[in-house]
């Protein structure tokens, strides 16, 4: 008797796969903060890089954290991830107000990042008296979009002198701005800062809820510990 076996290959084009990516480490944010990000109708892959997956929704895929990277510098390491298709990264202090599907239309061969339109354009040229007010940036890495496998040069560049970069720059945003990588920026009217406004020149009202925007950044929660409750109160009115 001759047996004939038919093998069916299911081909998945990783270039077309969409991934919504988050990062949770330490105790500042909880599993509920992660689950909130994914509590929408996003049809793509849901991935969280974390050191503690307790309480995360069952449909979220987990990538373990590396052990030797400090805090927010982990966001640079995310650029070393591969085989995730088109990646939209969101910080856990981001609030999704409209469908994020449209954000993927800005995918390009260069990565795309949030631009801080609520700051003056000359902000990165200003200097202060201490480390925290030097090498400023008009990027905000709370929202980034890229094709996995195309931005490994960012992480590799950081590794060339990581101790120096961590000493020089007060955060990954400033590293990304001053190390002269090529980024596209999301256009206006998509992302705003709940604390600082939407546009430095025309819409700078602070602590203002703007429901027409796709994303709200609740940045500076360390300085404004009640920002989350305040945003929820405004958004539920």
pTM: predicted TM-score of the whole model, two decimal places: 0.92
Distance CA 82, CA 94 (A): 24
Q: Which two three-digit tokens encode residue 66?
A: 């590396």
Q: Provide the edge-to-edge strand list for the sheet that holds 94-96.
A: 94-96, 215-217, 191-193
Q: Which two three-digit tokens encode residue 73?
A: 């510098």
DSSP 180: T
- Is a pLDDT exceeding 60 seen at residue 1? no
DSSP run (H or E) holding 192: strand 191-193
CB 151 within 8 A of CB 79: yes
CB 194 within 8 A of CB 231: yes
pLDDT tens digits, residue range 77-128?
999 999 999 999 999 999 999 999 999 999 999 999 999 999 999 999 998 8
pLDDT tens digits, residue range 23-48?
999 999 999 999 999 998 888 999 99
């Amino acid at each position: 008797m001759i047996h004939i076996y038919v093998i069916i290959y299911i081909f998945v084009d990783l270039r077309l796969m969409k991934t919504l990516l988050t990062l949770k480490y330490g105790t500042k944010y909880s599993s509920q903060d992660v689950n909130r990000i994914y509590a929408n109708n996003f049809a793509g892959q849901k991935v969280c890089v974390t050191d503690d997956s307790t309480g995360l929704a069952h449909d979220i895929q987990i990538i373990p954290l590396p052990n030797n990277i400090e805090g927010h510098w982990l966001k640079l390491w995310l650029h070393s991830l591969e085989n995730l298709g088109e990646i939209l990264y969101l910080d856990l202090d981001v609030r999704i107000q409209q469908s994020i599907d449209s954000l993927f239309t800005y995918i390009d061969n260069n990565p795309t990042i949030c631009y801080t339109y609520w700051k003056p354009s000359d902000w990165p040229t200003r200097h202060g008296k201490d480390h925290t007010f030097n090498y400023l940036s008009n990027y905000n890495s709370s929202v980034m979009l890229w094709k996995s496998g195309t931005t490994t040069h960012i992480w590799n560049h950081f590794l060339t002198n990581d101790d120096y970069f961590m000493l020089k720059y007060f955060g990954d945003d400033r590293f990304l701005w001053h190390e002269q990588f090529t980024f596209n920026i999301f256009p206006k009217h998509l992302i705003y800062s709940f604390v600082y406004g939407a546009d430095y020149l025309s819409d700078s009202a602070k602590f203002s809820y703007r429901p027409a925007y796709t994303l709200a950044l609740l940045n500076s929660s360390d300085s404004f510990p009640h920002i989350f409750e305040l945003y929820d109160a405004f958004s539920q009115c």
